[in-house]
A and B are shown apart, each in its own frame.
Chain A
């Protein structure tokens, strides 16, 4: 029974079905339990959290990643699966907090001051959440002081800065400088992304990484995780 739920969970992640109303890719799935319902059922059956995450959610995302790399899946498929996993992680969060299962850490993401573009930021959020990170979206056009204040108080392990415009990307450098001035730079890894920026720019302002897209953000963060371990 437990195996059935875990197998169904994995399959529904592959199908990108967050809940029973979603259609998925295969026909005739609408109406059957989706990732949310199955996660709930798994908790009710007392299936270990680690099994739910590794054998259900992560195993499903791994298949999705393989399908994406062979071009069987497109980004919308990847996002649908990541969204489903992200929703499941929200359900699991209180249980994880009261258990010994280690999480991947908190990632705060923000579009910098003067910039309201957020498509890329939102996609990165979905993918990182789907990859098991706790994602906090601080919003768009956020002043540097507010970002510094958040880092000081909430202590995220990672900070993602997004900017589309060449006129607003300069705020990224200001944020890195402000973190230094406030003695916070060492406690947070700063990642930057957006059409205007590059690896060179990341080096220039002293960020830890530049990510060309959400998939690279997942790879970079997972890399940080490994080096920490």
Chain B
């Protein structure tokens, strides 16, 4: 049985049907004129041979082409792109099946940050009252390692609400190079979680090694097609409207292999996209449609997700402002656009501007987590543990985020209002009004043990002091102490024999023997 996710029965829609059509038409117009600047020759050739108007331009010392994509190519691509995408998993119970027409939300971690945030709890003594001693969380930033990635995948395996795993931290160990990063990040993830694993690719040269690793895990070529335990995300488009050379090559090769892929674009309103909602929406939609069109021209039927990471610029730094209200608005608009095309949507929520866990972080992330979830994206990259936009990952924050999503999932449970429940209520009411205390308490004992009631906030302390961080830290330690189902020893052995570049210390079976 695949994972259930959470079905949003009446998804929140921010823009009207007419506005959806306006954005669609504007995007088609953009693709026709001015079109896409393409820095990748393969892509230019593919578009040219498919009927697009491709002209050579040289904006600098690089080769570049202007590709004007006719509407028909886009519409044909939207026809061949699958409307349902299956993302496999080592554990069949963790498979995700997402239909573009069904607002069933899956919560996914991500994405790759350079900084890992550790936490400890030093004690402080009050100057004016030395008998008062408190523990205060202190966060320490450092560069992420492959061991951190393993730890993160391990904890994410146990986070109840987390449906799939995007690596949370960039592995920056001294022995990690461009040539071995991909195999190690995929192996570290796959070996520590049985959930679906999605990642970007650092080096195209490693694509087949990564795919072969996945084939060894599931048992072969056909098995991987049937159960794609890995998928990819590529930012082939750089805003505004440019096909990037290397990521477009990667995108084309992944499409040729038929594995699921996210066509992602991340324009920033105010700098690389227009500031106004209509503008950034028209542009991001054009950029994603351009990528989807290329993918379907390469290999019709390639499973794609409509990937949207729109963001507003901060006006004080011109950096991304994931915590801004507009960012959630853009994301919800994109969910609607993907649903208009009946394609599963990769959306973004829960990323915050602040650098450490705390009040601002909780407000920013919960704001977008709730709102974007309510719009019903299928694959919600919801930034478990992410801070400082996409720069910092804190495992403690990921554990706290899991509690947020438990609340959101509970909220989205279908209402139980039917004849049976109404009849029960009428009976109770008649009984209660006759009692001296007039309380319904006697009727809630069965309900409170049935799982029908939401539980109190899991990190609530006993006293007046805020204990969220300490309790979440304890929960994190509990998850780390819980075992995960690693890749079978015989298969792990084959992987280490056949896939070059893997770090020996990732072989848990060998490590245990030493």
**Which A residues have a C-beta under 8 Å from some C-beta of B?**
16, 22-23, 25, 74-77, 79-80, 83, 119, 122-123, 125-126, 137
Contacts and interface: CB of A to CB of B under 8 A. Distances in A.
A119 B445 contact: no
B448 A126 contact: no
Interface in B408-453: 436-439, 441-442, 444-446, 448-449
A77 B436 CA distance: 18
B441 A76 contact: yes
Given A16-B445, A25-B449, A76-B448, A119 B439 contact: yes
Nearest to B437: A122
A216 to B, nearest CB: 16
A16 to B, nearest CB: 7
A16 B438 CA distance: 18
B446 A79 contact: no
A128 to B, nearest CB: 12
A77 B445 contact: yes
Interface residues of B, number: 11
A137 B445 contact: no
B248 to A, nearest CB: 57
A151 to B, nearest CB: 21
B136 to A, nearest CB: 27
B439 A80 contact: no
A137 B438 CA distance: 13
A80 B437 contact: no
Contact of B445 (A25, A122, A123, A125): A25
Nearest to B447: A76
Nearest to B443: A76
Interface string B68-93: 00000000000000000000000000
Contact of B441 (A22, A79, A125): A79
Given A25-B449, A74-B448, A80 B436 contact: no
A213 to B, nearest CB: 14
B442 A80 contact: yes
Nearest to A125: B437
Interface in B320-361: none
Contacts of A76: 441-442, 444-445, 448
* In the complex, the 4 A-B pairs of residues with the closest C-beta atoms, listed nearest first: A122-B437, A76-B441, A76-B445, A76-B444
Contacts of A16: 445
15 contacts: A16-B445, A23-B445, A25-B445, A76-B441, A76-B444, A76-B448, A77-B445, A79-B442, A80-B441, A119-B439, A122-B437, A122-B439, A125-B437, A126-B437, A137-B436
Interface of B: 436-439, 441-442, 444-446, 448-449
B462 to A, nearest CB: 11
A194 B174 CA distance: 63
Contact of A23 (B438, B439, B441, B446): B446
B442 A83 contact: yes
Given A23-B445, A122-B436, 9 more contacts: A16-B445, A76-B442, A76-B444, A76-B448, A79-B439, A80-B441, A80-B445, A83-B442, A123-B439
B457 to A, nearest CB: 15
Contacts of B444: 76
A137 B441 CA distance: 19
Nearest to A78: B441
A5 B376 CA distance: 58
Contacts of A79: 439, 441-442
A75 B444 CA distance: 11
Nearest to A79: B441
B341 to A, nearest CB: 49
A97 to B, nearest CB: 21
B162 to A, nearest CB: 27
Contacts of B445: 16, 23, 25, 76-77, 80
Given A25-B449, A76-B448, A122 B438 contact: yes
Contacts of B436: 122, 137
A76 B449 CA distance: 11
A11 to B, nearest CB: 16
A75 B440 CA distance: 13
A99 B502 CA distance: 85
Contacts of B448: 74, 76
Contacts of B446: 23
A163 B449 CA distance: 32
Contacts of B439: 79, 119, 122-123
Nearest to A137: B436
A222 B441 CA distance: 25
A16 B436 CA distance: 18
B18 to A, nearest CB: 51
B153 to A, nearest CB: 32
Contacts of B441: 75-76, 79-80
Contacts of A123: 437, 439
Contacts of B438: 122
Contacts of B442: 22, 76, 79-80, 83
Nearest to A24: B445
A80 B438 CA distance: 13
Of B436, B438, B441, B442, most A-chain CB atoms within 10 Å: B441
A83 B441 CA distance: 11
A25 B444 CA distance: 11
A139 to B, nearest CB: 10
Contacts of A125: 437
Nearest to B442: A80
A40 B125 CA distance: 61
Contacts of A75: 441
Of B444, B445, B448, most A-chain CB atoms within 10 Å: B445
A123 B438 CA distance: 10
B406 to A, nearest CB: 19
A122 B440 CA distance: 12
Contacts of A137: 436
